[in-house]
A and B are shown apart, each in its own frame.
Chain A
Amino acid sequence: AQKVTQAQTEISVVEKEDVTLDCVYETRDTTYYLFWYKQPPSGELVFLIRRNSFDEQNEISGRYSWNFQKSTSSFNFTITASQVVDSAVYFCALSESRGGYGGSQGNLIFGKGTKLSVKP
């Protein structure tokens, strides 16, 4: 069965610190997609990144970076020089492709989320 584990329930940092949010996933499929979403206090879910299982290249977008390692089934998220506006709950999610690459979309399996508090 698919499963996403975010072991860190809450993290608190001071502004400008770097912080890494961990995500470990389980799946038996060879084709799958991994996501990170941000949920600020206002409650909406904001898409941050998508990665497919064939692309292990790490990605950097501004202060955000993601480290995908199939060998350890991990997809960790790092915020560099954190800011107060980064305070939110961050969710890692897994979606399997039904029928392989380009196949039918499945639902998202979410982790429990990590609440990040960035203090000034």
Chain B
Amino acid sequence: DAGVIQSPRHEVTEMGQEVTLRCKPISGHDYLFWYRQTMMRGLELLIYFNNNVPIDDSGMPEDRFSAKMPNASFSTLKIQPSEPRDSAVYFCASGIQGDYEQYFGPGTRLTVT
């Protein structure tokens, strides 16, 4: 069975551009998490969904960030406009009710110049 799939794996963009990161969770999982990893702040939660509904978005840094989960098999994290300080690795993870383990995707390394 395929794991969590993220695309693109690497993204380089210029400041001010819109960036869209994509995630396909493991089939049958009803939780989806977006994390960001930076040297300064480590791994931190941005937002998570349960059954496609956002449950906690308190980690979303500001209005420039938005996340959607239109169906059980797809989620996007959008940054508009992007800034150099958004440069980080963005991980998507999925999980299933009662299991508590989170299965991580390979991450998207974002560089904003």
Contact = CB atoms under 8 A, between A and B. Distances in A.
15 contacts: A37-B104, A45-B91, A45-B93, A45-B104, A47-B103, A102-B98, A105-B50, A105-B97, A105-B98, A107-B48, A107-B56, A108-B35, A108-B102, A109-B45, A110-B44
Per DSSP, chain B at the interface is strand
A91 B93 CA distance: 15
Contacts of A43: 89, 106-107, 109
A52 B103 CA distance: 17
B42 A112 contact: yes
A110 B43 contact: yes
A117 B99 CA distance: 32
Nearest to A35: B101
A113 B91 contact: no
Interface string B23-53: 0000000010101000000111100101000
A82 interface: no
Interface range on chain B: under 10, 10 to 19, 20 to 34, or 35 or more? 20 to 34
Contacts of A112: 42
B97 A104 contact: yes
Most central of B44, B89, B100, B106 by chain A CB within 10 Å: B100
A33 interface: yes
A33 B106 contact: no
A111 B91 CA distance: 16
A113 B42 CA distance: 8
Interface string B78-112: 00000000000101010101111111101101000
Interface string A7-46: 0000000000000000000000000010101000001110
